[in-house]
A and B are shown apart, each in its own frame.
Chain A
Amino acid sequence: DTEVTQTPKHLVMGMTNKKSLKCEQHMGHRAMYWYKQKAKKPPELMFVYSYEKLSINESVPSRFSPECPNSSLLNLHLHALQPEDSALYLCASSQHIQAINTEAFFGQGTRLTVV
């Protein structure tokens, strides 16, 4: 199984809502990533988890809260978002951070709309 599964595929939420995005992989990968992608722009790295510990936070606002409850699962908790946070949120995984001679696998993303 070489898939990264993201749910939901689409999400519409109000600015006062709390919601969560979920990402799952069963490849035994120990590095997991969240990216944000605005229309016609490249993906921007948000967070990196290495062996279930937060390794990198690219100065992401606290209204985005990542969580890695186990080695297969990565969540992104959303609270009090703004309309400008509407974007495609991508999850990725790789063997581990230093395995730079291996490929990373991406999910299909969650299309988030904040109203």
Chain B
Amino acid sequence: DAKTTQPNSMESNEEEPVHLPCNHSTISGTDYIHWYRQLPSQGPEYVIHGLTSNVNNRMASLAIAEDRKSSTLILHRATLRDAAVYYCILRRGSQGNLIFGKGTKLSVKP
């Protein structure tokens, strides 16, 4: 399974942008970069995914480095409801399973 590395925890202030980094130096050419988050006492939920180009959706933006060895999830204005564990996951074509790493626990201060 392709490995990702994320900081254990990050803090943000409410209504400020948050940049959550992820390193994936062993990524292969066809691996998709996925982000999921898990709010307290809930199942994980999909946030965003991408292959090479930067991606935007209603929840977040995903910035992918040119060499694809790292990516950054951007929450444009953090709210208290964004406090969660954020997981960066590589999905590989041979299996496509979601294998979770340790993730980053995001705390949002009012």
* Residue of B43, B44, B49, B85 ringed by the most chain A CB atoms within 10 A: B43
Specify the chain B residue showing the minimal Cβ separation from A6: B43
Q: Which positions in B face A, CB cutoff 8 Å?
A: 31-32, 34, 36, 42-46, 49, 51, 85, 87, 91-93, 95-103
Q: Which residues in A have some Cβ–Cβ distance to B below 8 Å?
A: 4, 31, 33, 42-45, 48, 56, 90, 92, 94, 97-101, 103-109
Contacts of A4 in B (CB 8 A): 43
| A107 closest partner in B (C-beta) | B43
- Chain B residues whose CB sits within 8 angstroms of the CB of A98 once the complex forms: 93, 96
Once bound together, how far apart are the Cα atoms of A92 and B31, in whole Å? 20
Interchain CB contact under 8 A, B93 and A106? no
Q: Give every chain A residue within 8 A of B34 (Cβ-Cβ).
A: 103
Determine if B100 and A99 form an interchain contact, defined as CB atoms under 8 angstroms apart. no
**Contact of B49 with A106 in the complex, beta carbons under 8 Å:** no
